[in-house]
Amino acid sequence: MTQGRGLPAGDAPAPPARRPDWGVQAHWPALAALLPGLDVEVLASVGSTNTVLLERLRTVDARRGAGTALGRRSGDRNPCLLVAERQTAGRGRRGRSWQSAPGASLTFSLALPLAPASWSGLSLAVGAALADALDPPAGSVPPRIGLKWPNDLWLADAPGRGRKLGGVLIETAPVEGARVAVIGVGLNVQPLPDAAGFATGYGCLLELLPGIDAPAVLWRVALPLAQALRRFEREGFAAFAAAYGRRDLLAGQTVRTTDPAVPEGLAEGVDGDGALRVRAGGVLHKLVGGEVSVRPAGG
């Protein structure tokens, strides 16, 4: 377990900023019991938590373990939870940038070896696990957190409508015959003064969970996320299909897509592999997450 400081920007020394207490010592044992060999790192600033972890993994595959990175051996395949208080080059799906600000956002990545029978639907399963941890199902009460296929969490305002709350970026790397998944998560925790310009709107967890802060959010989702990844490895997306369906923001909505064959159609949920079903012109199309973007027709 480590907690790094990062480097202050600029040439002149700056007074140390008060950093939040992340409570790593208190929460590490429960996570480590599920993920043996786990290391938890909290850094003041990095470019991208996903990029840092992927670079470590690629280093060991090229150099067979030579070198160190931020206190760990480059390419260490043991699970690692890397938290950034600030990301300067956060990445979203299809190369989009991810805005983050200290205190207002939670950005972290969890790297661990996974060997599921199929990787299909993993981002949907992760989204469902995060949403259930932050907004537990409450019988017939509509969920406040919706899931927008394939990897976004939205704060739901009405059926098919809401504001972006967070996102998931999943990348993998081969390391010495195994495949390591890097699960990147970004969540809006507190309001931003300049959020009006966000194309997808801006929702934050403080609207749902008064008084919540980034460390509390981390420990609210970290263990359920690890449990979900282990379950996905055993059972695949089928184990999460119902949970995803309860929160499917697009189901029953007219959507626009970037697929030239399906510019607009009616979303009819997802199939057993997590592909989005869109009916257009009487034909049911299946869209795969890595290929297209989708949004509500009115959004």
Nearest to 81 by CA among 112, 130, 40: 40
Read off the pLDDT of each residue in 179-203 and give the average, rounded to a whole number: 87
| Residue 11 predicted with pLDDT over 50 | no
Arch. (CATH architecture) of 20-249: 2-Layer Sandwich (3.30)
| Residue 97 predicted with pLDDT over 60 | no
85-99, 161-175, 282-296: the lowest-pLDDT one: 85-99
- Written as one letter, the residue type at 159 is P
Angle 122-134/214-235 helices, nearest 10 degrees? 140
- Same topology, domains 20-249 and 251-299? Answer is no
* pLDDT tens digit sequence for 202-236: 999 999 999 999 999 999 999 999 999 999 999 99
Read off the pLDDT of each residue in 194-209 and give the average, rounded to a whole number: 84
pLDDT of residue 103: 79
pLDDT of residue 89: 74
Among residues of the chain, what percentage have pLDDT more than 90? Answer: 68
| Residue 296 predicted with pLDDT over 60 | yes
CA distances to 96, 195, 288 from 118, in Å:
26, 38, 14
The pTM for the full model equals 0.87
Residues 6+ apart with CB under 8 A from 275: 120, 286, 287, 288, 289
Among residues of the chain, what percentage have pLDDT more than 70? Answer: 82
* pLDDT tens digit sequence for 28-72: 999 999 999 999 999 999 999 999 999 988 875 555 444 434 444
Helical ranges in the chain per DSSP H = 24-34, 49-63, 122-134, 214-235, 241-247
Distance of alpha carbon 278 from alpha carbon 18, whole angstroms:
49
- Domains of the chain, residue spans: 20-249, 251-299
Q: Per-residue confidence at 109, pLDDT binned at 50, 70, 90?
A: very high
Q: pLDDT: is 297 or 40 the higher one?
A: 40
Arch. (CATH architecture) of 251-299: Roll (2.30)
Read off the pLDDT of each residue in 149-170 and give the average, rounded to a whole number: 93
